[in-house]
């Protein structure tokens, strides 16, 4: 599974640290969802509740990576107002196949 998206062309220790941080963000988000398997959250809510010091773009990247891995599901419609006043999607935990996907994730 993807973690850090290296648009800045980082290398060496800097790239390794960025990847480690991205993986840690994904793990924290997954732990949060596992504790609330029947709730759904928008990225700005995850930022506020789970990663208040992370940029919203990092939260969105982590949630997209988790959805791509089959661990989260993104709502089909944007049906909430986000922190910038725009419509946003909700994301929910996708518990089936989680053991298989979890092994692929880490």
CATH number of the domain within which 64 lies: 1.10.10.10
Q: Is residue 34 in a domain?
A: yes
Q: Is residue 3 in a domain?
A: no
d(CA 20, CA 23): 5
pLDDT digits (tens, 9 = 90+) for 17-67: 878 888 999 999 999 999 998 899 999 999 999 999 999 999 999 999 999
- Domain range holding 26? 12-105
d(CA 97, CA 99): 6
Q: What is the DSSP letter of 41?
A: E
Q: Is residue 40 in a domain?
A: yes
Q: Is residue 52 in a domain?
A: yes
What number of other Cβ atoms are within 10 A of residue 28's Cβ? Answer: 14
Domains of the chain: total: 1
The predicted model scores a pTM of: 0.80
């Amino acid at each position: 599974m993807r973690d850090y998206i290296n648009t800045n062309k980082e290398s060496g220790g800097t790239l390794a640290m960025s990847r480690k941080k991205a993986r840690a963000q994904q793990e924290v988000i997954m732990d949060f969802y596992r504790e609330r398997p029947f709730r759904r959250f928008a990225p700005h809510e995850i930022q506020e509740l789970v990663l208040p010091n992370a940029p919203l773009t990092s939260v969105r990247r982590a949630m997209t990576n988790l959805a791509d891995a089959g661990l989260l599901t993104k709502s089909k419609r944007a049906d909430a107002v986000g922190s910038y006043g725009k419509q946003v999607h909700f994301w929910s935990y996708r518990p089936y196949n989680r053991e298989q996907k979890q092994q692929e994730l880490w």
